[in-house]
Structure 1
Amino acid sequence: MEEAPGGAPRRGRPPVLDRDRLITVAAGMDPRALTMTGVARELGVATSALYRWVSDREALLDLVSSTMLDRILPGQEPTASSWRAWLTTWAHNVRREFGAVPGFAARVLTGPHRDPAHGRLEAAGVHAFTAAGHPPDRARQCWYAFAVAVVGWVAVEHGHDDPAGEPRDFDALLEILLRGTAPG
């Protein structure tokens, strides 16, 4: 039996809800249709149990978005010598994470600007293009074009089969985008 602080044995059922489980269940749902009641039902807990973790539906969506952002942002800051590698890593991380949880891609990348994840993501992407040598306004435009192209590719890749049966070459997309956004 597990011990409580102070050495006494814990009584009752072990907790059925933790942060990781909450995020996993919420991330598996369509964010447009996600409700606190629906998440609680999936978790097998009372709706009131969710409010110990988040204040409302928007806070839950923000928590999932922030967690996904942590998974897709490369660990190192982009520099003048690493901006291409940083963007390539970011794109592959987006493909992996949003392929597994497609409903949250639009929210994290283009979604409500009140979502803190969106601001963090945009700042990191713009920083990559300023590290490449672009002025801030141009860096923002490069980031927007790059992010929209990557997310669009991932959305199509996970939403439709190629009728010709041809595999899509994600690395070719990245090469084209990075060549097109390199400073003149």
Structure 2
Amino acid sequence: MPRPRSLTQDHLAAAALAVIDRDGLSGLSMRAVAQELGMSTMGLYRYVADRDELEGLVAERVLSSVDPTPPPPGPPWRDRVVELVARLRTSVGAHPAAVPLTVSHRHRLPGLLRWSESVLELLAEAGVEGERRVVALRGLVAYVVGAIQLEHLGSLAGAGTSTIADLPREHFPYMAEAARDAPGIDAEREFFGGLAVYLRGLGD
């Protein structure tokens, strides 16, 4: 008679996420998660088949707090998309090291699928149709994922900007100028400013 299962998928996801938050994505392994749970590595295989399944549980846990409900009608469609994006940024940005998992597992994550459905609904209301709507959604997800990673790994106001600011102006005049202006731009302005530029490009 098999032993009864004592751990839930939520327990596994929480332990794996704790490992990622502490040691980065490169620190995630079946052994590390088993140690986090106080069990043997082989014992962990009673609950998940492999690391890929474990990663999927982590990604869904990160996205589970995102409210995918479309904002109520009234404000312009761009403002409603911004609200949806802000929700996603809050949840994903809380665990920046896990961001790549939300990309590699995006096609099977209920949380992200529901969020994407709401974005597509707003794009349809805005008259963005067919292949253009597909590209718009993928571009939006790419912007959010990339911007979150830049925010936590190398924001405009990061230490590297001082090095760029010292580049010789005869070779890098615009890079040097941009680096000197960057420290005055905080993470909120950087993220939502870039988002506004993207959304304006979709037209009316």
TM-score (norm: length of structure 1):
0.71
Aligned to 1:21, which of 3, 11, 31? 11
CA contact (8 A) 1:69 1:121 kept: no
The one-character-per-residue Cα deviations of 1:27-52 (angstroms, maximum 9, x if unpaired) are 23144542211111122222244334
For 1:37, give the aligned amino acid. Answer: R
The verdict on how the C-alpha distance between 1:159 and 1:25 changes in structure 2, with shifts beyond 3 A counting, is same
Q: Across the two proteins, how many residue pairs are aligned to each other?
A: 165
1:165 counterpart = 2:157:
no
Query: 1:7 corresponds to which residue?
Result: none
Aligned to 1:76, which of 63, 69, 76? 69
CA contact (8 A) 2:120 2:137 kept: yes
Question: What are the equivalent positions in structure 2 for 1:1-184 lying under 5 Å apart?
Answer: 17-28=7-18, 29=20, 30-72=24-66, 74-77=67-70, 83-109=77-103, 111=104, 116-117=108-109, 120=113, 123-124=116-117, 125-161=119-155, 162=157, 163=161, 164-166=182-184, 167-168=186-187, 169=189, 170-183=191-204
Please give the secondary structure, in 2, of the residue aligned with 1:84.
helix
Query: 2:176 corresponds to which residue?
Result: none
For 1:88, give the aligned amino acid. Answer: V
User: What stretches of structure 2 of length at least 5 have no aligned partner?
Assistant: 1-5, 162-181
**Alpha-carbon distance in 1 for matches of 2:51, 2:93:** 23
Please give the secondary structure, in 2, of the residue aligned with 1:165.
helix
For 1:143, give the aligned amino acid. Answer: L
Please give the secondary structure, in 2, of the residue aligned with 1:149.
helix
For 1:24, give the aligned amino acid. Answer: A
**Alpha-carbon distance in 2 for matches of 1:68, 1:19:** 13
User: What stretches of structure 1 of length at least 5 have no aligned partner?
Assistant: 1-14
The verdict on how the C-alpha distance between 1:39 and 1:141 changes in structure 2, with shifts beyond 3 A counting, is same
CA contact (8 A) 1:79 1:131 kept: no
The verdict on how the C-alpha distance between 1:75 and 1:68 changes in structure 2, with shifts beyond 3 A counting, is same
Higher helix share: 2
* Structure 1 residue ranges (4+ consecutive) displaced by more than 3 angstroms after TM superposition: 17-21, 30-33, 77-86, 125-128
For 2:11, give the aligned amino acid. Answer: R
**Alpha-carbon distance in 2 for matches of 1:60, 1:93:** 24
